[in-house]
Structure 1
Amino acid sequence: MKENILETLKNLNFTEYEAKAYLTLLEESPLTGYAVAKNSGVPRSRIYEVLDSLAMRGDILVSPGNTPQYTPVPAKELIKNRRMKAEENFELAEQSLAEFERSANDRENIWNITGRNEILDKVKTCISSAKKRILLEIWKDEFEELESELRQAANRGVNVTIIAYGEITSDFANVYLHYMGHEITEEYGGRWLVISGDDSEVVAGIVSLGKDSRAAWTMHVGLVMPITEVMIHDLYLMEIMEKHRELLEESFGENLINLRRKFSIHPDFKKHYVK
């Protein structure tokens, strides 16, 4: 009978010595550590280590003093506590594994988003989940709709850096006014938005077509990395233009327009991504 109970306790994550000590205290308590060792067969050299482990886990209680005495938590209470802890662990495992599975899938997929409001909602989610840095390419129209969320991110310590097309001012973000904001707006005939959150997720798309606006959201490193790096290279170029504009414009025209025309494939030098 006792051997079966010892095996049952082992199944509840008791070690053999812990199970013997606990059963001994169920039979008679309170007992000193010496008495528990004598009655249970647990070596005296190990008994206080075993009793401390049981006490820290809440399986036994200790009466302090010159000679501490030990008493067990009643068996029903022990089982109740173990059941509650097991249920908590199962719930935590279920939640954690589901989040991990979803995150793993997200890292491999590219999701389409249709509609300007839907795109901005996803961008707001990206902003709220950022912990370190937000890189954002944006026009004033969309910035005004996202300003509150961006401010909240900055207030919790997130570095917010904006590449602005048109006049955007902010007291919480690093704002770089794109030197070709007007020309780009004319060339594309619309506005886009790109956000990189913590270098781990990206939302990018056209936001000036109302319900027909289209964007993609992904955590796929094959897209997150190059899109984030393109934004960083835009920042490099704006820093360079700030310090060497006159020299660069002497070589490539005002606002580097000759470079843009050099790499255009259309006679009107406009972009025709949207038909």
Structure 2
Amino acid sequence: MEQLLHHLRNLGFTEMEAKIMVELAGKGPSSGYEVAKGLGVSRSNVYSTLQRLCQQGYLHRSEGDPVRYSMLKTEELTRMIAGQMKESLSFIENRMPRVEPDQQPFYNVEGDRNVMEALARELERAEHEIVVDVWREEAALMRSELEQAEQRGVKLLWSCIGSDTGMERLLPWPAWNQDAGDRHALKGRKFSFVIDRRWCMLGMRGEDCATQALVTEHPVMVELLLHHFTQEMVLYEVEQDLGGELAERYGPAYERIYRKYVEVDPREADSEVIGDFDGPEDSEEV
């Protein structure tokens, strides 16, 4: 009984309204006198509340002497309340004043739980498209949310790296003061999500590092991640189609091309390639 009253109050009914509605639902059509007697309250308070509930459409009122009141069927009541709430929420969402920032902010989210919850909330809101660039471990964590999005008709575009592939397709850009033997000692697995080409998350997660992510709707970051994803997928398809010819001309993973841009010493006027890279292992993309 008390829980029922509590939830009716949460829906905006007063204490007296809630008690009268429960009383009528349990006893059936009753006069104002009978309701007041059953609740042990004054008739004046009951009559004014009954009149208000009738005007709002929550009660039926029969003519006669005495006038008798009855509740709507439960399913009619809940459908009526749900419609009113939906209408109010829609009005608030569309009419609430907004101060648009000059630039879309960047947020840093820390902690595995916080990052995953923020991502799950946005995946639930996806309407058109989700672009995913992850390792298998992170893909498994979001499997349920991604499947639900796909069932809603959201288009999913994947780039997934297996846990047994040493590194990604593209070679990393080491810092100038980074030791040669530590160039690939990146702790954790990178991941990125772009949702409906407006919201994105870029982060790192792993057993040996704290989970962190950058979240923004800034169009520049969204565009960068989409271009990176497109480049990865185009390279993947080219490799599948011309793998033998590419390896024969450039070597595995196009080492000759990458080394021109990744391992360049800015002190050399001729942009001489220095150092030696082992080509990255193949990554699997779906």
TM-score by length of 2: 0.51
Q: Which runs of 5+ in 2 are unaligned?
A: 1-85, 173-182, 265-274, 279-286
1:126 aligns with: 122
**1:101 matched to 2:98:** yes
Provide the secondary structure at the position in 2 that maps to 1:207.
strand
Contact 1:140 1:165 in 2 (8 A): yes
Contact 1:136 1:161 in 2 (8 A): yes
Which residue of 187, 190, 193 corresponds with 2:191?
A: 193
Q: What do residues 101-148 of structure 1 show as CA deviations (whole Å, max 9, x unaligned)?
A: 37x449611111112332222222222111111111100111111111
Which residue of 257, 262, 265 corresponds with 1:264?
A: 262
How many residue pairs match? The answer is: 174
Deviation at 1:203, TM superposition (A): 0.3
Instruction: Give the residue type in structure 2 aligned to 1:101.
Output: R
Contact 2:192 2:200 in 1 (8 A): yes
Change (3 A) 1:245 1:130: same
Q: What do residues 181-218 of structure 1 show as CA deviations (whole Å, max 9, x unaligned)?
A: 69879563431010111111110011126672221111
Q: What do residues 153-200 of structure 1 show as CA deviations (whole Å, max 9, x unaligned)?
A: 1111111111111179xxxxxxxx999469879563431010111111
1:161 aligns with: 157
**Separation in 1 of the partners of 2:130 and 2:108?**
21
Instruction: Give the residue type in structure 2 aligned to 1:233.
Output: Q
Deviation at 1:222, TM superposition (A): 2.0
Show the 5 A alignment for 1:1-275.
93-98=91-96, 101=98, 104-105=100-101, 108-166=104-162, 180=168, 186=184, 188-208=186-206, 212-265=210-263, 267=275
Change (3 A) 1:258 1:122: farther
Contact 1:165 1:181 in 2 (8 A): no
Instruction: Give the residue type in structure 1 aligned to 2:122.
Output: C
Change (3 A) 1:89 1:180: closer
Instruction: Give the residue type in structure 2 aligned to 1:225.
Output: E
Instruction: Give the residue type in structure 1 aligned to 2:152.
Output: R
TM-score by length of 1: 0.53
User: Aligned residues: percent identity?
Assistant: 19
Provide the secondary structure at the position in 2 that maps to 1:213.
strand
Provide the secondary structure at the position in 2 that maps to 1:203.
strand
Give the alignment's Cα RMSD to 1 decimal: 3.7
Contact 1:165 1:182 in 2 (8 A): no
Contact 1:134 1:195 in 2 (8 A): yes
Provide the secondary structure at the position in 2 that maps to 1:101.
coil
Q: Which runs of 5+ in 1 are unaligned?
A: 1-87, 169-176, 271-275
- Which structure's residues are more often helix, by fraction? 1
Of residues 244-253 and 148-157 in structure 1, the stretch that sits farther from structure 2 once superposed is: 244-253
Of residues 152-161 and 208-217 in structure 1, the stretch that sits farther from structure 2 once superposed is: 208-217
**Separation in 1 of the partners of 2:223 and 2:119?**
18
Deviation at 1:258, TM superposition (A): 3.8
Question: Larger relative CO (CA 8 A, sep 6+): 1 or 2?
Answer: 2
